[in-house]
Amino acid sequence: MKPSTAAFAGLFLLAALYCQIDPYRHSAISGFPQFVAHEVDMPPWSQLPLVEDRSESLKKSEIRFLNEVQGPESVAFDPSGRGPYAGVADGRVVFWDGHSWTDFAYTSPNRSELCNWSPNPLSYLKNEHICGRPLGLRFHKRTGDLYIADAYFGVLRVGPDGGLATSLTAEAEGVPLKFTNDLDVDDQGNVYFTDSSTNYQRRNFIQLVFSAESTGRVLKYDPVTKQTTVLQRNLQFPNGITLSKDGSFFVFCEGAVGRLRRYWLKGEKAGTSEPFALLPGFPDNIRTNKDGDFWVALHCRRNLYAHVNGLYPSLRKLILKLPIPAKYQFLLHIGGKPHAIILKYSPEGEVLQVLEDSKGEVVRSVSEVEEKDGQLWIGSVLMPFIAVHTLE
């Protein structure tokens, strides 16, 4: 063996040993000794929908409430049309009364100075399990009660006057809700919701993305029996969920796969599910508008790097063992920079509209889209503002 070849082989072995031991805990999965990378049930690259918004319509959006709301993932309006209401990173649900933001509800009974305001939405991660983290918000149209999916405290409800929310459910089949993510509620008060993982909490959402493990569930809470049942299991990062306009089915997002799935509640197919639409990226929340169409918020477009890593978990774990911090690994996963894309689907699963800011110049991130009076109210779990886009 030539000296140069031997030196290269030696350096390779040292690098491999370093990655295996991770002595300085610089890797993205340091601190997660039980981490396992799973293959993602991805469709072929050739099947990804080639939809785009060449006019970059989202750049016309207006940024509102800059640095007044931190990480407003979900945006909702009450049955009287007042709002918006938003769940923010410090554990509160806040209400815009037309002049200023006021506190409306809390999910944690253990709030303290640890939950005080910070300029960075991600700075709250380490204390979310204490302060609470309200994600999905929904109002019951008849009662005016607000239903909250809190990542740590499960499904809760608070009356029209707000205050400390009351827990409805925090477990199913003896398994605690680990990462309650989104919900919807029907006229009878049945709550349909997602639990993204039974292993990872939201404060470790980046590691959940990297793992792509399949312990996610879709569940139903029955207000009469007060029982929680599992409707779908073995899912890879289920996220947003929304009922159809007529209540015959709901659609939920498969975050790791990049797909929408329909679950039938009525008719001959009741109790079964089927693929609804393949997405060009990784979804967060989904909302139904007054016409029965579905607005889907995507974290990013799928890129070849994320696609290959999804198919080859051993390669992904090897890369994650490199001394590259999690936030930079996550940037690689989303294509190098935050950017926003929103799609509207028909009740039949056909793409009706695409809105995009591919360079993240105005709307850098989108978690949810709520349509009201010809405008889209755009929330983001990562950004300190709400964007408003006027539909043309």
User: In this structure, is the dihedral angle defined by the CA atoms of residues 43, 334, 207 and 241, taken in order, positive or negative?
Assistant: negative
pLDDT of res. 12: 44
- CB 328 within 8 Å of CB 308: no
Give the chain's domains with CATH numbers. Answer: 1-31 (no CATH), 34-390 (2.120.10.30)
Query: What is the residue whose two structure tokens read 């040993």?
Result: 17
Structure tokens at 337: 């920079």
Burial class (CB in 10 A: 0-12, 13-18, 19+), 287: buried
Residues of the chain under the 50 pLDDT cut:
8-15, 17, 24
- CB 298 within 8 Å of CB 282: yes
Say how many CA atoms lie within 13 Å of 82 toward its Cβ.
14
Q: In this structure, what DSSP letter does residue 361 have? A: S
pLDDT tens for each residue of 177-189: 999 999 999 999 9
- In what order do the strands lie in the sheet containing 351-357? 281-288, 294-301, 340-345, 351-357
pLDDT of res. 46: 92
Torsion angles phi and psi, residue 345, rounded to 5: -115, 150
Structure tokens at 130: 């204490």
| Residue 53 to residue 353: CA distance in whole angstroms | 9
Query: What is the residue whose two structure tokens read 């929904």?
Result: 138
- CB 252 within 8 Å of CB 231: no
Structure tokens at 365: 């991130």
| Residue 86 to residue 40: CA distance in whole angstroms | 32
